[in-house]
């Protein structure tokens, strides 16, 4: 008879005295750029009053792509010789592509008044590293 | 420029410098020659591009976060 005693977050929705609608949110973001696979899952089941704070992945991915494109652009413009610039771009791509995949899952079940904050350190470090490389290239080639 | 932002850097600036220099050396790129390939206009454009990205990276690091709340 365990179901009799089990607390359920949505029970109060059955009595219609409260003017509320239960919302079920499901979000599964997956982003892939080159070698990077990064996905985060937050599953919330049978719970109420849960605050979730997470990294804006869309912004992170476009920022990564932007810096990668900038690195390629700087190399292309600075190194006129096609074969040479291709070689340099390839070499940098190899460095940039050494990335780990980040999978984190957070499951909240049968809980009340929870705050969740997740930080995707991988993506933050990647962005920082990419920009570091871009800045170093600009300095090394004495672009400005 | 690379020296200015050592606080948040995941790997030391010197390591990145060595790596970048090594990649350029391996591909026979001479920075002295490269200078002549870039017009002033391009120089300006690249500068703006890098500064733009720097702003975006800083903004990102300051933690632009998404917050989702379930109903109370």
Q: pLDDT of B4-27, one tens digit each?
A: 445 567 788 888 899 899 998 888
Structural domain for A116, as ranges? 2-140
**pLDDT confidence bin for B70, thresholds 50/70/90:** low
First to last CA, chain A: 75
ipTM for the complex?
0.76
Contacting residues of A for B42, CB less than 8 Å apart: 77
Would you say the pTM of this structure is higher than 0.90?
A: no
If one counts the domains in chain A, the total is: 1
Query: Residues in chain A with pLDDT < 50?
Result: 22-36
CB contact under 8 A, B67 and A52: yes
Stretch 7-36 of chain A: residues touching chain B, C-beta under 8 Å = 20-23, 25, 27
Smallest Cα–Cα separation from A51: which of B64, B72, B65, B69?
A: B69
To test the contact with chain B by mutation, choose from A130, A134, A137 the residue with the greatest count of B C-beta atoms within 10 A, namely A134
Smallest Cα–Cα separation from A22: which of A41, A3, A1, A50?
A: A50
What is the pLDDT, as a whole number, of residue A131? 92
Contacting residues of B for A133, CB less than 8 Å apart: 16, 19-20
Give me the torsion for CA of B30, A67, A117, A101, rounded to 10°: -70
Q: How would you classify residue A63: left for phi > 0, otherwise alpha for psi between -120 and 50, otherwise beta?
A: alpha
For A84, which of B29, B38, B57 is closest by C-beta distance?
B29
Give me the helices (H) in chain B, please. 13-26, 31-37, 40-61
How confident is the prediction for chain B on average, in pLDDT? 78
**Cα distance from B72 to chain A (closest Cα, Å)?**
5
């Amino acid at each position: 008879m365990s179901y009799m005693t089990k607390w359920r977050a949505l029970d109060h929705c059955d009595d219609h005295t409260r003017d509320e609608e239960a919302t079920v949110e499901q979000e599964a973001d997956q982003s892939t750029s080159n070698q990077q696979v990064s996905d985060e899952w937050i599953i919330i089941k049978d719970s109420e009053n849960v605050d979730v704070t997470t990294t804006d992945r869309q912004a992170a991915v476009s920022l990564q792509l932007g810096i990668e494109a900038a690195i390629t652009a700087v190399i292309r413009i600075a190194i006129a010789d096609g074969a040479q610039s291709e070689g340099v771009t390839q070499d940098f791509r190899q460095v940039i592509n050494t990335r780990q995949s980040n999978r984190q899952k957070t499951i909240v079940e049968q809980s009340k008044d929870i705050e969740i904050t997740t930080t995707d350190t991988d993506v933050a470090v990647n962005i920082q590293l990419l920009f570091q490389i871009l800045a170093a290239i600009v300095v090394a080639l004495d672009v400005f | 420029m690379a020296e200015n932002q050592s606080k948040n850097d995941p790997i030391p600036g010197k390591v990145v410098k060595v790596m970048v220099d090594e990649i350029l050396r391996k591909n026979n790129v001479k920075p002295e020659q490269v200078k002549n390939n870039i017009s002033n206009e391009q120089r300006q454009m690249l500068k703006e591009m890098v500064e733009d990205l720097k702003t975006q990276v800083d903004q990102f690091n300051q933690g632009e976060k998404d917050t989702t709340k379930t109903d109370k």
